[in-house]
A and B are shown apart, each in its own frame.
Chain A
Amino acid sequence: MMSNPKDSNLLWLSSLRFLMRHPWHFALSILGVALGVAVVVSIDLSNSSAKKAFSLSTEAVTGKATHQIRGAAENLDEETYRQVRLDAKVRKSAPVVEGYARVQGVNRTFQILGVDPIAEAPFRDFASQEAGIELSEFMNGENTGLVSETVAEELNAEIGDTLSLSVGGREFSLRLIGLIEASDDRSAQALESLVVVDISTAQRLFDMQGALTRIDLILPSENEEALKEKIRPNLPEGAAIVRSESRTETVEQMTRAFEFNLQALSMLALLVGMFLIYNTMTFSVVQRRPLIGRLRALGVTRNEILTTVLKEAVLIGFLGTVIGIVAGIFLAQVLVKLVTQSINDLYFVLSVQELSIDLFSLGKGAILGIGATMIAAFWPAREASQAEVSTVLRRSSNESKITGRIIPLALIGLLVGLGGVGVLLIPDGGIVAGYSSLLFMIVGFALIIPLMIVGMAKVLRPILGKISGLIGKMAVRGVVTELSRTSVAIAALVVAVAATVGVGVMVDSFRTTVVSWLESQLQADIYVQPPSSVARKADATLEPMLVDLLRETEGVADASSVRSVDVRTNKGTDNLVAIDQGAAAKQTYQLKTGTDSFWQRYTEQSIIMVSEVYAYRNNVAIGDTLTIETDKGNSPFVIQAINFDYASDIGTLTISRQVYDQFFDDDAISGLALYAAEGVEVEQLVERLRERSAGMQEVFIRSNKGLREASIEIFDRTFTVTIVLRMLAILVAFIGVLSALMALQLERSRELAVLRANGMTPGQLWNYVVTQTGVMGVMAGLLSVPLGILMAYILVYVINLRSFGWTLQFMISTEVLLQAVGLAILAALLAGLYPSWKMSKANPADALRND
C-alpha cells in the first residue's frame, strides 16, 4: 500500500526543523562529507590534469604521425632518414630531434622540438613551411627557433630577440625568428612549453651531431605492412618501427601505480568521511528515538521513517558534495603542482601545470559524495525504521540492547577482520584486494570497539576516581552507560585518527629505508652530475673534456662512471644503467638475491642485474633471460642478480660498462663518482673541482653528504602530496572528533541541567564534561594506535609491495603515535569546551522543561 506523497510533507518538515535546531551538528556533518569529497575530487583533478598535460604535449610533438622509427639506444643515425625517404620512398616521413632545456626568464622546463620544416607539412601544422616558417632564417646555420605567442608574451620577447637556453648545464643562445599562432585554447596549452628549432640547431643543443631522436611516419592502415617491409631493410641494427601511441602507453603504465595510490589515499579520506557520516546519522537517529517512537505510534510506517532519514542523508550528501566539489577545485590548484612535480621528479617532464577541470572527475566526486553518504546513512536509517515502537518509547531500551550485543558484535568484528586476512591471501589479488582487506579490517576493528571501551572504562574508572573523585568516576561511567552513542563516536574517531597513523608510519618507513639505502649506495666521496630534466633520471651527459679534467684533478684517487639510457627490451622500454666499478661495485649494491660471484663475472659475461621493483613489475626472476635491443641487434641477457633500489619505481637494469660498450656505440657518461685520496678533505676537494670546472659545462659537484641531502629533498618533495593528504586526514579526524563529541554533549543538556539543578556548580560541570570528552579522546587515541599500525602494516607490506614492489623496513616512530593520541585528546578537550560553557551559562530550568 503506497501512501500519498503529500502525507510525508510534515515528516520532512519535522526532519528539516530537527536539522536546523542542531546547526552545529548539521554543519559538521556537511563538512565531513565536503572534506571527503574535496580530497577525492582534488586528487582526481590533479591526476587527470597531469594526464591531460602529458597527452597534450605528446599530441603536439607527435602530430599526425602514426608510427615512429626509434633507435636501440637513445639515438638514430640521420643517414637512416635519408634512406627511408629516398631509398624506401616513404614520403610521409619526418626527422625529429627532441630534448629538454630550461629557458631563462621562466622557471620551467621546455621541450625542444627539432624539425625539418620541408618534411613537416603532413605532421605538425605549426612547424611546417606552410605555417609561414621563413626557411632562409630557420635553417641558416645559427641557433634560431620559434615559440608560441603566449610564451613570447610571458618572456616579454619579440621576434629578433635572443633567448638563453640551458641544456644539461650548457648555455646556448637562440634567436627568435617567428611566433607560432595557436588556433585554439587547447593548442595554446599544448604549445606553452615548446620551442621549435631546426634539426641542426637541435643537434647542436643536445650534442647529437649526425643523429636523430626518431623519425615520424604516417603509414596508412591499408598498406601499413607493405610500407613497413619496404622500410625495414633500411634500418640499422636495433632500430624498430613502433606505433606512436606506444610511448603514451608506456608512460601511462609507469604512472598507473602512482596515480592509483594517490586515488586510494584520497578514498581513505572518503572512508574516514563515511565513518563521520555514519556517526552523524546514527547519532541523529539515536537522538531522535523518542521522536521516531511517537511518529510510529501515530501510524507512520517503517518505510516512511526510512525514506525520511535517507532524504536527510541526501540533503547532507548534496550540500556536502557541492561544497566539497568547489573546495576540491581550489585544493586541486595546489595539488596539481605537487602531483606534476612528483611526476617530473619520478617519471618524465610535464610542462603543463595548469588545472583542467574535467567534468568526469566532478561527476565522480558527486556520485561518490552522495553515494557514500547514502551507504553510510543506510544502516542508521534502517535501524531507526526497524525499531519496535514500544521499545522506542522507552529511552533506556537501546542502551540495554547494545550492552547485550557487545560480545556478538566483537565476534562479528573478529570474523570480518579474519575475512580481511582472507582477502589478503587471494593470489594475484593486486592493489584492489589490498585496499579491500584494509576496509574489512577497519570495519572489523570498529565492531570490537564497544567491547574495548567497556574494558578500558574498567581500568580508567578507579584512576579518574582518584584524580577527580566522584566527577571522574561519573565521567567514565557515562561513557559506558551511553554506549550506543559513545561507541559510534569513538569508533569514528579511532578510524579517522588511525588513518593518520597508517599514512604517517608508511611515509616514515619509506624514508628510513631510503636513507639507509642511500648510505650504502653512496660509497664514493664526490658525485658529478649534469642538471637533468627529470631529477631521478640521468638523461643528460657529461662533456668528455670535463670528465678527463675532473678525473685528473689533484686529490682524486679513483673514479667510476655511470651511463643511463632508455632501451627497448622484450618487456617494453626500460632504463639501463652501465657501471664501470668492476668488482668494487659489490660494496655499493645490496643484493636481494644473487651470489657474490656475480660481481666477478658481470664484467665479462652477458649477465644482468635487475632491481627488485623491475623483477616484481615484470615478473622475472634469477635465471630468466631479457632480450635488449642493442646497436648489435637483439641480445639476450641472463638475470643473475636482483638488487634493492629505491631510486626508481619503474625499475632499473644494470650491466657493466665493458659489456655495454660491446653492444652499444655510445661512449657518453651520465654521472661520475670520485674517490678522494687519503688525507684529502672532501669539502676542499669539492671546492677545487668546482674551481677547475668553472666556465665549462655547468654540472652539480656534490659531496656524498650533499647528494644524500639532495636525494632526500627529492624524496620529501615526491611525498609532499602524501603528506598533504595526511594533513587533510588529520583535519577530517579533528572535525570528526569535534562533531561527534560536541553533538554528544549538546544532546545531554537535559542531563547536565539535572546535575546543575542538583547543585553542581558551573566549574564542576566544566570539569565533568571536559573529563568525559577527555576520557573518550584518550580511549580513541589509544585504540587508534593498534588500528593505525595495522593499517600501516598493510600499506607497507601489501599495498606498497603490490604497487611498486619495494621491500621496506617497517618503522614506527613514537612521534607519529604521540601525535595521534595527542590529536584525539586535544580535539576531545576542545569539543568539551563549547557544551560545558553553554551549559554553565544556561538556566537549568530551560533545559529541564518538557519538550
Chain B
Amino acid sequence: MPNKSHIQLNDLTKSYQEGDKLRSVLDELNLSVKEGEMIVLLGRSGSGKSTLLNMVSGIDKPDHGEVIIGGTNLAALDEKNRTLFRRKNIGFVFQSFNLISTLTAHENVLLPLKLKGATDDETLDKAQQFLDQVGLGDRGDSYPDRLSGGEQQRVAIARALAHEPMLILADEPTGNLDYETGRQILDILNDLVRENGRTMIIATHDRDICKIADRVVELRGGKLSEVEDIAEAIK
C-alpha cells in the first residue's frame, strides 16, 4: 500500500440553518487517507456522516476548510468543475441503491463510463466484466424494478467501480438489506475494491462492517476520532 496521503480534509466546517438556530454538523474536522486505504466512518444517525461524504464527493461545499483529493482542492472548485471531478474520480454506493430506473442494469454500469468519455467497445466490455464480477452477468437487460434489493446493490457496486475512480464512497451500503445479503454485499465490495486497488470510505452505524476496515474513525459532535481497537469497536 503506498504510504502517501491521498485524501486530505483540513479544518472542514459545515453548519445548517434550522429555524433561528445554526446547527454545526462538521466542526474543523481533519482526516488523512492513504491511497488504497479502506476507511469505515462510524456515527449515529444524524451525526453528519452523509454530510461529510457530500463534502468529500463535491456534492456540497464546506463553509470553511479544504477537501484535497489527489492534489485537487474540491472546496476551491465551482459547481461545474466539482461535478466533472466527481464523474471522473468518484464512485458512489448509496443505501437506497439509487439506480437509474429508466436504464437497464448493464446501462446503469455503462453510464459513468460513457460520462467519462470512454469509447463504445471498450466500455461495453468493461461494464459486462464488472457485472460478471458481481455475479449478475446474465441480468444485464433487467430494469432495476425487476431486481431484488441485493441485486440492485450489486449493480450499484459494479457501477461505482466500472469507471475506475480514485475514490469510492459508500453510504450505509447494507442499510436496506437483510443480514445475510448485507454480508454478501460487503464481501463483494471488499474483494472488488481491494482487487482493483481503490480507496474507499464507508459511512455506517453498523459496527460489524468495521471488520473489513484498514482504519475506523468515528464522527461525534462534528469531530472525528480514530478508533484504535477495531475488535473492541465490533463488540
A184 at interface (Cβ–Cβ under 8 A)? no
Q: B100 touching A299 by the CB < 8 A rule?
A: no
- A289-297, A313-321, A589-597, A764-772 - interface stretch: A289-297
Q: A14 touching B115 by the CB < 8 A rule?
A: no
- Cα distance A17–B143 when bound, in Å? 11
> Which chain A residues lie closer than 8 Å to B98 at the CB level?
290, 293-294, 297, 393
Closest A residue by C-beta to B145: A851
Q: A849 touching B145 by the CB < 8 A rule?
A: yes
> Which chain A residues lie closer than 8 Å to B80 at the CB level?
1, 301-303
A-B contact count, CB below 8 Å?
91
A264-297 interface bits toward B, Cβ cutoff 8 Å, 1 = contact, 0 = none:
0000000000000000000000000011011111
> Which chain A residues lie closer than 8 Å to B97 at the CB level?
850
B128-158 interface bits toward A, Cβ cutoff 8 Å, 1 = contact, 0 = none:
0000000000000000110001001000000
Q: B100 touching A294 by the CB < 8 A rule?
A: yes
Q: A297 touching B92 by the CB < 8 A rule?
A: yes
Closest A residue by C-beta to B54: A390
**Contact-residue bracket for chain B:** 35 or more
> Which chain B residues lie closer than 8 Å to A301 at the CB level?
80, 83-84
Q: B60 touching A390 by the CB < 8 A rule?
A: yes
A584 at interface (Cβ–Cβ under 8 A)? no
A186 at interface (Cβ–Cβ under 8 A)? no
B215 at interface (Cβ–Cβ under 8 A)? no
- A3-11, A339-347, A373-381 - interface stretch: A3-11
Q: B110 touching A10 by the CB < 8 A rule?
A: yes
> Which chain A residues lie closer than 8 Å to B79 at the CB level?
302
Q: Which of B60, B87, B96, B102 contacts A299 (CB 8 A)?
A: B87
B76 at interface (Cβ–Cβ under 8 A)? no
Q: Which of A7, A294, A302, A849 contacts B114 (CB 8 A)?
A: A7
Q: A9 touching B60 by the CB < 8 A rule?
A: no
Q: A302 touching B100 by the CB < 8 A rule?
A: no
> Which chain B residues lie closer than 8 Å to A818 at the CB level?
none
Q: A296 touching B100 by the CB < 8 A rule?
A: no
Q: B102 touching A21 by the CB < 8 A rule?
A: yes
B205 at interface (Cβ–Cβ under 8 A)? no
- Cα distance A13–B102 when bound, in Å? 8
Q: B145 touching A298 by the CB < 8 A rule?
A: no
B57 at interface (Cβ–Cβ under 8 A)? yes
Q: A299 touching B114 by the CB < 8 A rule?
A: no
B207 at interface (Cβ–Cβ under 8 A)? no
A389 at interface (Cβ–Cβ under 8 A)? yes
Q: B107 touching A13 by the CB < 8 A rule?
A: yes
Q: A6 touching B102 by the CB < 8 A rule?
A: no
Q: B114 touching A298 by the CB < 8 A rule?
A: no
Closest B residue by C-beta to A851: B101
Closest B residue by C-beta to A388: B60
Q: B117 touching A300 by the CB < 8 A rule?
A: no
B86 at interface (Cβ–Cβ under 8 A)? yes
A18 at interface (Cβ–Cβ under 8 A)? yes
> Given A3-B117, A390-B54, A850-B152, is A291 in contact with B84 using a C-beta cutoff of 8 Å?
no
Q: Which of B86, B96, B114 contacts A9 (CB 8 A)?
A: B114
Q: B102 touching A298 by the CB < 8 A rule?
A: no
> Which chain B residues lie closer than 8 Å to A9 at the CB level?
114
B48 at interface (Cβ–Cβ under 8 A)? no
Q: A291 touching B149 by the CB < 8 A rule?
A: no
- B-facing residues in A667-709 (Cβ within 8 Å): none
Smallest beta-carbon distance A290→chain B, Å: 8
Q: A298 touching B60 by the CB < 8 A rule?
A: no
Smallest beta-carbon distance A747→chain B, Å: 13
Q: Which of A10, A297, A389 contacts B103 (CB 8 A)?
A: A10
Closest B residue by C-beta to A300: B115
B166-195 interface bits toward A, Cβ cutoff 8 Å, 1 = contact, 0 = none:
000000000010000000000000000000
- Cα distance A290–B57 when bound, in Å? 18
> Which chain B residues lie closer than 8 Å to A15 at the CB level?
102
Q: B145 touching A297 by the CB < 8 A rule?
A: no
- Cα distance A253–B31 when bound, in Å? 79
- Cα distance A99–B59 when bound, in Å? 79
- Cα distance A10–B54 when bound, in Å? 25
Q: Which of B96, B107, B112, B144 contacts A298 (CB 8 A)?
A: B112
Closest A residue by C-beta to B169: A297
10 smallest CB-CB distances across A and B, nearest first, come from: A299-B87, A17-B102, A14-B102, A851-B101, A299-B86, A294-B98, A389-B59, A301-B83, A18-B102, A851-B145
Query: Can you offer 7 A-B residue contacts whose CB atoms are under 8 A?
Result: A10-B111, A10-B114, A13-B102, A291-B101, A296-B83, A303-B80, A850-B149
Chain B interface (Cβ < 8 Å from any Cβ of A): 54, 57, 59-60, 79-81, 83-84, 86-88, 90, 92, 94, 96-103, 107, 110-112, 114-115, 117, 120, 144-145, 149, 152, 159, 176
